[in-house]
Amino acid sequence: MNNFTRSAAALMTSAGLALIGLAGTAQAAPVVEDHAMGSQMAKHEGGGQRIVIDTDPSAQAVVYGIDVSSHQGNVDWPYWWGQGKRFAYVKATESTTYRNPYFAQQYNGSYNVGMIRGAYHFALPDRSAGATQADYFVNNGGGWSRDGKTLPGALDMEYNPYGSTCYGLSKAGMNTWIKAFSDRYHARTTRWPVIYTSTSWWSQCVSGDFSANNPVWVARYSSTVGTLPHAWPYYTFWQYSSSPIDQNQFNGAYDRLQALANG
Protein backbone atom coordinates (compact mmCIF):
# COMPACT_ATOMS: atom_id res chain seq x y z
CA MET A 1 0.00 0.00 0.00
CA ASN A 2 1.59 3.31 -1.08
CA ASN A 3 1.37 6.58 0.86
CA PHE A 4 -1.55 7.90 -1.25
CA THR A 5 -3.53 4.70 -0.67
CA ARG A 6 -2.81 4.79 3.08
CA SER A 7 -3.97 8.44 3.27
CA ALA A 8 -7.16 7.72 1.36
CA ALA A 9 -7.92 4.74 3.57
CA ALA A 10 -7.36 6.83 6.68
CA LEU A 11 -9.72 9.51 5.43
CA MET A 12 -12.39 6.92 4.64
CA THR A 13 -11.99 5.38 8.08
CA SER A 14 -12.27 8.77 9.78
CA ALA A 15 -15.39 9.63 7.77
CA GLY A 16 -16.94 6.31 8.69
CA LEU A 17 -16.17 6.74 12.37
CA ALA A 18 -17.71 10.20 12.32
CA LEU A 19 -21.04 8.61 11.41
CA ILE A 20 -21.00 6.29 14.42
CA GLY A 21 -22.80 7.57 17.50
CA LEU A 22 -21.80 7.04 21.10
CA ALA A 23 -24.04 3.99 21.24
CA GLY A 24 -22.26 2.50 18.23
CA THR A 25 -25.09 3.10 15.75
CA ALA A 26 -24.99 5.10 12.53
CA GLN A 27 -26.50 8.58 12.78
CA ALA A 28 -29.20 9.51 10.27
CA ALA A 29 -28.58 12.43 7.94
CA PRO A 30 -30.37 15.62 9.00
CA VAL A 31 -33.83 16.08 7.53
CA VAL A 32 -34.13 18.95 5.09
CA GLU A 33 -37.60 20.36 5.53
CA ASP A 34 -38.12 21.76 2.05
CA HIS A 35 -41.38 20.54 0.58
CA ALA A 36 -43.12 22.46 -2.18
CA MET A 37 -46.82 23.16 -2.11
CA GLY A 38 -48.57 20.19 -3.73
CA SER A 39 -45.54 17.91 -3.63
CA GLN A 40 -47.38 15.41 -1.42
CA MET A 41 -50.66 15.85 -3.32
CA ALA A 42 -48.98 14.72 -6.52
CA LYS A 43 -47.30 11.84 -4.69
CA HIS A 44 -50.48 10.51 -3.09
CA GLU A 45 -53.22 11.59 -5.49
CA GLY A 46 -51.34 11.54 -8.79
CA GLY A 47 -51.65 13.73 -11.84
CA GLY A 48 -49.19 16.33 -10.67
CA GLN A 49 -47.63 16.84 -14.08
CA ARG A 50 -50.81 17.16 -16.07
CA ILE A 51 -51.13 20.38 -18.06
CA VAL A 52 -54.64 21.79 -17.86
CA ILE A 53 -55.64 24.84 -19.85
CA ASP A 54 -59.41 24.73 -19.44
CA THR A 55 -61.03 27.46 -17.41
CA ASP A 56 -63.31 26.21 -14.67
CA PRO A 57 -66.76 26.41 -16.29
CA SER A 58 -68.39 27.46 -13.01
CA ALA A 59 -66.20 30.57 -12.73
CA GLN A 60 -67.44 33.84 -14.20
CA ALA A 61 -63.91 35.24 -14.42
CA VAL A 62 -60.46 34.04 -13.42
CA VAL A 63 -57.01 35.43 -12.77
CA TYR A 64 -54.00 33.20 -13.40
CA GLY A 65 -51.02 32.85 -11.09
CA ILE A 66 -48.24 30.56 -9.90
CA ASP A 67 -46.72 29.38 -6.62
CA VAL A 68 -43.00 28.82 -6.06
CA SER A 69 -40.52 27.55 -3.49
CA SER A 70 -36.76 27.12 -3.28
CA HIS A 71 -37.05 24.40 -5.92
CA GLN A 72 -37.46 27.14 -8.54
CA GLY A 73 -34.42 29.10 -7.35
CA ASN A 74 -34.22 32.62 -8.74
CA VAL A 75 -37.44 33.03 -10.72
CA ASP A 76 -37.61 34.89 -14.04
CA TRP A 77 -40.54 37.07 -13.04
CA PRO A 78 -40.76 39.15 -16.26
CA TYR A 79 -41.16 35.87 -18.17
CA TRP A 80 -44.09 34.72 -16.04
CA TRP A 81 -45.69 38.16 -16.22
CA GLY A 82 -45.46 37.83 -19.99
CA GLN A 83 -47.25 34.46 -19.70
CA GLY A 84 -50.24 36.22 -18.16
CA LYS A 85 -49.60 35.39 -14.50
CA ARG A 86 -50.86 38.17 -12.25
CA PHE A 87 -50.40 36.73 -8.76
CA ALA A 88 -47.91 34.51 -6.95
CA TYR A 89 -47.59 32.69 -3.67
CA VAL A 90 -44.07 32.12 -2.35
CA LYS A 91 -43.04 29.55 0.22
CA ALA A 92 -41.63 31.27 3.30
CA THR A 93 -41.34 28.59 5.97
CA GLU A 94 -41.87 24.98 7.02
CA SER A 95 -42.43 23.83 10.60
CA THR A 96 -40.23 26.09 12.78
CA THR A 97 -36.87 25.07 11.36
CA TYR A 98 -36.87 25.96 7.65
CA ARG A 99 -36.83 29.26 5.78
CA ASN A 100 -36.79 29.49 1.99
CA PRO A 101 -33.33 30.84 1.03
CA TYR A 102 -34.77 32.31 -2.19
CA PHE A 103 -37.67 34.02 -0.46
CA ALA A 104 -36.47 37.61 -0.92
CA GLN A 105 -35.83 37.22 -4.66
CA GLN A 106 -39.14 35.47 -5.20
CA TYR A 107 -41.34 37.58 -2.93
CA ASN A 108 -39.89 40.95 -3.90
CA GLY A 109 -39.35 40.00 -7.53
CA SER A 110 -42.99 39.09 -8.07
CA TYR A 111 -44.04 42.35 -6.42
CA ASN A 112 -41.62 44.43 -8.49
CA VAL A 113 -42.87 43.01 -11.77
CA GLY A 114 -46.42 43.99 -10.83
CA MET A 115 -47.92 40.82 -9.38
CA ILE A 116 -50.07 40.64 -6.29
CA ARG A 117 -48.21 38.19 -4.07
CA GLY A 118 -48.43 36.36 -0.78
CA ALA A 119 -46.44 33.89 1.31
CA TYR A 120 -47.24 30.34 2.40
CA HIS A 121 -46.24 28.02 5.24
CA PHE A 122 -45.86 24.23 4.86
CA ALA A 123 -47.35 22.83 8.07
CA LEU A 124 -45.90 19.92 10.03
CA PRO A 125 -48.52 19.61 12.79
CA ASP A 126 -46.68 16.88 14.66
CA ARG A 127 -43.61 19.07 15.26
CA SER A 128 -45.03 21.97 17.27
CA ALA A 129 -48.23 23.81 18.14
CA GLY A 130 -50.26 25.66 15.54
CA ALA A 131 -49.74 29.03 17.22
CA THR A 132 -45.99 28.40 17.38
CA GLN A 133 -45.78 27.72 13.66
CA ALA A 134 -47.97 30.74 12.90
CA ASP A 135 -45.54 32.94 14.82
CA TYR A 136 -42.58 31.47 12.96
CA PHE A 137 -44.33 32.11 9.65
CA VAL A 138 -45.21 35.73 10.45
CA ASN A 139 -41.72 36.40 11.80
CA ASN A 140 -40.08 35.07 8.63
CA GLY A 141 -41.95 36.62 5.72
CA GLY A 142 -45.54 35.56 6.26
CA GLY A 143 -46.91 38.89 7.43
CA TRP A 144 -49.44 41.11 5.69
CA SER A 145 -49.69 44.81 4.87
CA ARG A 146 -52.54 46.81 3.38
CA ASP A 147 -50.62 47.92 0.29
CA GLY A 148 -52.98 46.45 -2.28
CA LYS A 149 -50.31 43.99 -3.48
CA THR A 150 -50.05 41.55 -0.56
CA LEU A 151 -52.36 38.55 -0.19
CA PRO A 152 -53.10 37.00 3.20
CA GLY A 153 -50.71 34.21 4.13
CA ALA A 154 -51.60 30.65 3.17
CA LEU A 155 -51.44 27.55 5.37
CA ASP A 156 -50.37 24.51 3.35
CA MET A 157 -52.12 21.42 4.78
CA GLU A 158 -51.28 18.20 2.96
CA TYR A 159 -50.02 14.64 3.38
CA ASN A 160 -47.24 14.05 5.90
CA PRO A 161 -43.93 13.72 3.99
CA TYR A 162 -42.45 11.61 6.81
CA GLY A 163 -45.13 9.25 8.06
CA SER A 164 -48.80 8.81 8.79
CA THR A 165 -51.16 10.76 6.57
CA CYS A 166 -52.65 12.86 9.37
CA TYR A 167 -49.44 13.39 11.36
CA GLY A 168 -50.67 11.10 14.13
CA LEU A 169 -53.52 13.46 15.02
CA SER A 170 -57.21 12.64 15.31
CA LYS A 171 -59.65 14.76 13.33
CA ALA A 172 -60.46 16.68 16.50
CA GLY A 173 -56.76 17.18 17.16
CA MET A 174 -56.21 18.47 13.62
CA ASN A 175 -59.18 20.83 13.97
CA THR A 176 -57.56 22.25 17.09
CA TRP A 177 -54.16 22.61 15.45
CA ILE A 178 -55.50 24.44 12.37
CA LYS A 179 -57.70 26.71 14.48
CA ALA A 180 -54.74 27.61 16.69
CA PHE A 181 -52.66 28.52 13.65
CA SER A 182 -55.51 30.48 12.08
CA ASP A 183 -56.37 32.36 15.26
CA ARG A 184 -52.77 33.25 15.95
CA TYR A 185 -52.19 34.43 12.37
CA HIS A 186 -55.30 36.59 12.61
CA ALA A 187 -54.17 38.04 15.93
CA ARG A 188 -50.79 38.94 14.43
CA THR A 189 -51.96 40.29 11.05
CA THR A 190 -55.74 41.00 11.29
CA ARG A 191 -56.21 38.57 8.36
CA TRP A 192 -57.44 35.00 8.28
CA PRO A 193 -55.05 32.70 6.40
CA VAL A 194 -56.01 30.99 3.18
CA ILE A 195 -56.06 27.19 3.65
CA TYR A 196 -54.47 25.11 0.90
CA THR A 197 -55.51 21.46 0.81
CA SER A 198 -57.14 18.72 -1.23
CA THR A 199 -60.61 17.34 -0.73
CA SER A 200 -59.21 13.84 -0.23
CA TRP A 201 -56.68 14.78 2.46
CA TRP A 202 -59.15 17.06 4.25
CA SER A 203 -61.85 14.39 4.41
CA GLN A 204 -59.37 11.93 5.97
CA CYS A 205 -57.83 14.27 8.53
CA VAL A 206 -60.17 17.16 9.38
CA SER A 207 -63.80 17.43 10.45
CA GLY A 208 -64.08 21.10 11.37
CA ASP A 209 -65.82 23.86 9.40
CA PHE A 210 -63.41 26.68 8.53
CA SER A 211 -65.49 28.15 5.73
CA ALA A 212 -66.71 31.18 7.68
CA ASN A 213 -63.27 32.80 7.94
CA ASN A 214 -60.69 31.01 5.80
CA PRO A 215 -60.67 31.11 1.99
CA VAL A 216 -59.94 27.68 0.54
CA TRP A 217 -57.27 26.88 -2.04
CA VAL A 218 -58.00 23.49 -3.61
CA ALA A 219 -55.39 21.22 -5.16
CA ARG A 220 -56.83 19.12 -7.97
CA TYR A 221 -54.95 18.30 -11.15
CA SER A 222 -57.85 17.90 -13.51
CA SER A 223 -59.99 19.85 -15.99
CA THR A 224 -62.47 20.83 -13.26
CA VAL A 225 -62.06 21.72 -9.62
CA GLY A 226 -64.42 18.93 -8.52
CA THR A 227 -65.96 18.43 -5.10
CA LEU A 228 -64.77 20.95 -2.54
CA PRO A 229 -63.57 20.16 0.99
CA HIS A 230 -66.18 20.04 3.75
CA ALA A 231 -68.47 23.07 4.10
CA TRP A 232 -66.80 25.45 1.64
CA PRO A 233 -69.47 26.61 -0.84
CA TYR A 234 -66.91 27.89 -3.36
CA TYR A 235 -63.14 27.94 -3.82
CA THR A 236 -60.94 31.03 -3.85
CA PHE A 237 -57.86 29.50 -5.49
CA TRP A 238 -57.43 26.30 -7.49
CA GLN A 239 -54.04 24.68 -8.13
CA TYR A 240 -54.77 22.83 -11.34
CA SER A 241 -51.33 21.83 -12.64
CA SER A 242 -47.68 21.53 -11.64
CA SER A 243 -46.27 21.69 -15.17
CA PRO A 244 -44.05 23.45 -16.06
CA ILE A 245 -44.54 25.20 -12.71
CA ASP A 246 -47.36 25.12 -10.13
CA GLN A 247 -50.25 26.91 -11.82
CA ASN A 248 -53.34 28.38 -10.20
CA GLN A 249 -56.59 30.17 -10.88
CA PHE A 250 -58.19 32.79 -8.69
CA ASN A 251 -61.97 32.41 -8.76
CA GLY A 252 -62.97 35.94 -9.69
CA ALA A 253 -62.04 39.03 -11.65
CA TYR A 254 -58.88 41.04 -11.01
CA ASP A 255 -60.70 43.62 -8.89
CA ARG A 256 -61.82 40.79 -6.57
CA LEU A 257 -58.22 39.65 -6.22
CA GLN A 258 -57.32 43.23 -5.31
CA ALA A 259 -60.15 43.20 -2.75
CA LEU A 260 -58.74 40.05 -1.16
CA ALA A 261 -55.34 41.72 -0.96
CA ASN A 262 -56.85 44.82 0.64
CA GLY A 263 -58.78 42.86 3.23
- Residue 3: its H or E element: helix 3-18
* Rounded Cα gap, residues 261 and 130, in angstroms: 24
Distance CA 52, CA 229 (A): 21
C-alpha angle 148-151-152 in degrees, rounded to nearest 5: 125
pLDDT of residue 37: 75
Active site includes 76? no
CATH number attached to the domain at 39-262: 3.20.20.80
pLDDT of residue 35: 83
In the set 67, 94, 135, 246, the catalytic residue is: 67
Residue 209, SS3 per DSSP = coil
Active-site residue (options: 94, 135, 158, 246): 158
Count other Cβ atoms within 10 Å, centred on residue 218.
25
- Nearest-CA neighbor of 232 among 254, 247, 252, 217? 217
In the residue annotation, 67 being an active-site residue is answered as yes
For position 41, what pLDDT does the model report?
64
Looking at residue 29, what is its pLDDT?
38
Instruction: Considering the candidates 45, 94, 156, 246, report the single residue annotated as catalytic.
Output: 156
**pLDDT per position as a tens digit, 185-220:** 999 999 999 999 999 999 999 999 999 999 999 999
33 is a catalytic site residue: no
pLDDT for the residue 44: 62
Q: What is the DSSP letter of 26?
A: B
CB 238 within 8 A of CB 220: yes
Helices 171-189 and 130-137, packing angle to 10 deg: 40
Over its length of 263 residues, how does the chain's per-residue pLDDT go in tens digits?
444 333 434 333 333 333 333 333 344 434 567 887 766 766 666 655 444 444 444 556 999 999 999 999 999 999 999 999 999 999 999 999 999 999 999 999 999 999 999 999 999 999 999 999 999 999 999 999 999 999 999 999 999 999 999 999 999 999 999 999 999 999 999 999 999 999 999 999 999 999 999 999 999 998 899 999 999 999 999 999 988 999 999 999 999 999 999 99
